[in-house]
């Protein structure tokens, strides 16, 4: 159970699953809509999601080569669970930032506890 739950705890996996809910996307499209993710991290995360049966990778024999990533049925079922988490995160960005700032002020110069 822990290995399955670790997928939900990984921010990149959750973001990719939410974005792919709109339909198939190419690698560069995913990279463009998820700010801050490196090419290496995106590659590793997509491979992991594919291994777990949440994403399919379809390669087309075109020039230039085209590869699409798409949620599987299992991936769509996970999206239904994590999408409210994403909505909660977006709705609470500011209160969380304020709480972090207040904590940092209270902690003083020793902010080693901050992420």
pLDDT of residue 73: 97
DSSP at 16:
H
Query: In tens digits, what is the pLDDT along the chain, a chain of 115 residues?
Result: 777 777 667 889 989 999 999 999 999 999 999 999 999 999 999 999 999 999 999 999 888 889 999 999 999 999 998 888 888 888 999 999 999 889 888 877 665 555 5
Give the tokens for residue 85.
């988490």
Residue pair 77/65 in contact (Cβ under 8 Å)? The answer is no
2-107 in CATH: which number?
1.10.10.10
pTM summary value: 0.80
Residue pair 71/85 in contact (Cβ under 8 Å)? The answer is no
Task: Locate the domains of the chain by residue range.
Answer: 2-107
């Amino acid at each position: 159970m822990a290995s399955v739950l670790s997928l939900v705890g990984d921010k990149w996996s959750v973001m990719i699953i939410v974005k792919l809910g709109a339909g198939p996307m190419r690698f560069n499209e995913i990279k463009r809509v998820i700010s801050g993710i490196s090419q290496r991290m995106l590659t590793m995360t997509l491979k992991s999601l594919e291994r777990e049966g949440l994403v399919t990778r379809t390669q087309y024999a075109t020039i230039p080569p085209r590869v699409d990533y798409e949620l599987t049925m299992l991936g769509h079922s996970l999206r239904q669970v994590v999408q409210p988490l994403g909505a909660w995160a977006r709705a609470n960005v500011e209160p969380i930032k304020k709480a972090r700032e207040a904590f940092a002020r209270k902690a003083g110069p020793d902010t080693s506890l901050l992420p």
